[in-house]
Structure 1
Amino acid sequence: MLLEVQHVRKEFQNRTLALTDASFSVSQGDFVSVIGPSGAGKTTLFRILNGSLRCDGGAILVNGVHFESADRRTRRAIQTTIGTIYQDFALVENATCRQNVLNACLPDMAFLPAVCGFFGKERVAEADALLERVGLADKVHEPVKNLSGGQKQRVAIARALMRHPALLLADEPVASLDPVTGRQILELLRDIQQDQKLTVLMNSHNLELSQEFSSRLIGLNQGTVVLDAPADTPAKEILAAVYHRQEDQP
């Protein structure tokens, strides 16, 4: 099992309980969507999974290794196998597409090369190849600030892939995009996932797209997993279980 989330709990200093008892597992090569209403704990869960937050209880296992209790070196090694794509892209707007992709290498570089931007020919060639893979071969030297939202998300995908991840976390990757562009991004993400046998865990508010592009759905409500079902489960059953609604649309 690539990822195991076991009874994870997270409470913030203001006493807000974001996660109460989240448990599920994800196998290598799966495309799984995490759905739920606003405030259900989806983003908090992803921040715990990529190591930017620590949980207050429970355990995260990646390939059988306890992420939370691992020593610093082991924890860092696990983090290198996890890539994250963000809703707001999290790119350096004034830097070029190539530079943004290469920035994924900075945590693994020595201080002087990182500060001076000495990435080496191999890394540069790989960054350019990834930009070509996401359809931006002609934008290598273009500043990100000149790109459309869909193009920025393509750069963000290329940057995440530069880490050679086994697990790709996509946190609302199309929420800020128009429907047509959003669908194109998800089609690209699914193609890459299938080609490279990646595991994708995606946060989404869009039930229709989650069902179309995922093989499985994890439903969160009030910090607890309330649904773990195949993506082709009837929408009315998902709405009743996750959103406590009976309508045909979320």
Structure 2
Amino acid sequence: MNLQIQHVKKEFNHTMALADVTFAVSQGEFVSVIGPSGAGKTTLFRILNGMLPCTSGQILLDGIPFQSLHGRQKRRLQTSIATIYQDFCLVENSTCLENVLTASLPDLGFFSGVLGLYGKNREAEALQLLDRVGLLDKAEEPVKNLSGGQKQRAAIARALMRHPGILLADEPVASLDPVTGRQILELLRSIHETEGVTILMNSHNLEFSREFSQRLIGLRDGKIVFDGKTTELTEEITEQIYTNSENTVRKNEV
């Protein structure tokens, strides 16, 4: 699935959080969005997963304008984007299996959803995904008993249950220690390589972003100031992204 962000702006109370952001992500890319706190990274991701509307501009998924759709059409396209979060967003008292199955709720009728009647096929798929992320033996374990790394693995399995074309990873390892964080990113890279899922990651960890991504997009003050391969990010450009808001370093027009 191809993602296009065209001239997206977002304003909060006369403060411009995103200013004319334009870039594209092709099917199968692993891209990291980097930049200092307050650069607009989280705002961008909330727009991409439908949590926030943009003030102007548009988001296109395979050429279809995402935010102009309504009702079933919008929900159908929205399911092609899944998000994993820094704080996992899991139901702590429910089991790993139950958390993964909740990704199927939009596909269920009212009574099936209320009663948690997911069906044998969905349960089998959820178990396969828990096995994929190394948590099959924790399927019936309440999430509250898991470590941070295990919770993030459960969250990844839940996201994959939606069969996404694009996976948004919003600071996926920020609350984890470096060793566990690396394991999670290695899992994401494996999923990217074997399942062909497009991954767009928001990260404060520049070292991890350079190691695991194919491409970096640098945000500063709501503007793109760098868009290029990880090998093209020099120390000078890094300094400008994180300390200098005046100069645009490099921008690929899309």
Answer whether TM exceeds 0.5 for this pair.
yes
Query: Residue 168 of structure 2 aligns with which residue?
Result: 169
After TM superposition, the score normalised by the length of structure 1 is: 0.95
Query: CA deviation digits over 1:46-85, x for unaligned, max 9?
Result: 1110111110101100100001112322211110100100
Give the superposition deviation at 1:233.
Answer: 2.0
**Gaps in structure 1 of 5+ consecutive residues:** 246-250
Query: CA deviation digits over 1:113-165, x for unaligned, max 9?
Result: 00000000000000011000000110000000000000000000000000000
What SS is found at the alignment partner of 2:232? coil
After TM superposition, the score normalised by the length of structure 2 is: 0.94
CA RMSD of aligned residues (A): 1.1
Maintained 8 Å contact 1:37/1:205: yes
> What one-letter code is carried by the residue in structure 2 that aligns with 1:81?
S
What SS is found at the alignment partner of 2:20? strand
> What one-letter code is carried by the residue in structure 1 that aligns with 2:112?
P
Give the superposition deviation at 1:170.
Answer: 0.1
Query: Residue 2 of structure 2 aligns with which residue?
Result: 2
Equivalents in 1 of 2:28, 2:202: separation in Å? 17
Q: Which stretches of structure 1, 4 residues or longer, exceed 3 Å deviation after superposition? A: none
What SS is found at the alignment partner of 2:69? coil
Deviation larger for 151-160 or 105-114 = 105-114
Equivalents in 1 of 2:231, 2:211: separation in Å? 8
What SS is found at the alignment partner of 2:57? strand
Give the superposition deviation at 1:15.
Answer: 2.7
Equivalents in 1 of 2:6, 2:136: separation in Å? 42
Equivalents in 2 of 1:179, 1:151: separation in Å? 14
Give the superposition deviation at 1:174.
Answer: 0.1
Tell me: CA distance 1:9–1:234, structure 2 relative to 1, closer, same or farther (3 Å): closer
Query: CA deviation digits over 1:153-203, x for unaligned, max 9?
Result: 000000000000000000000000000000000000000111001100000
Query: Residue 135 of structure 2 aligns with which residue?
Result: 136
Equivalents in 1 of 2:190, 2:27: separation in Å? 16
What SS is found at the alignment partner of 1:28? coil
Give the superposition deviation at 1:238.
Answer: 3.3
Maintained 8 Å contact 1:30/1:200: yes
Query: CA deviation digits over 1:185-242, x for unaligned, max 9?
Result: 0000000111001100000001111010000000111111111010122440331331
Equivalents in 1 of 2:45, 2:35: separation in Å? 13
Query: Residue 144 of structure 2 aligns with which residue?
Result: 145
Equivalents in 2 of 1:181, 1:155: separation in Å? 14
Q: What are the within-5 Å matches in structure 2 for residues 66-105 of structure 1? A: 66-105=65-104
**Gaps in structure 2 of 5+ consecutive residues:** 245-254
Query: Residue 28 of structure 2 aligns with which residue?
Result: 29
Equivalents in 2 of 1:113, 1:234: separation in Å? 50
Does residue 1:59 correspond to 2:58, yes or no?
yes
Query: Residue 221 of structure 1 aligns with which residue?
Result: 220
Query: Residue 248 of structure 1 aligns with which residue?
Result: none
Equivalents in 1 of 2:85, 2:158: separation in Å? 11
> What one-letter code is carried by the residue in structure 1 that aligns with 2:189?
R
Give the superposition deviation at 1:244.
Answer: 2.7
Equivalents in 2 of 1:238, 1:119: separation in Å? 50
Query: Residue 15 of structure 1 aligns with which residue?
Result: 14
Query: Residue 124 of structure 1 aligns with which residue?
Result: 123
Q: What are the within-5 Å matches in structure 2 for residues 188-203 of structure 1? A: 188-203=187-202
Does residue 1:236 correspond to 2:235, yes or no?
yes
Query: CA deviation digits over 1:18-59, x for unaligned, max 9?
Result: 111111100000000000110111111011101111101011
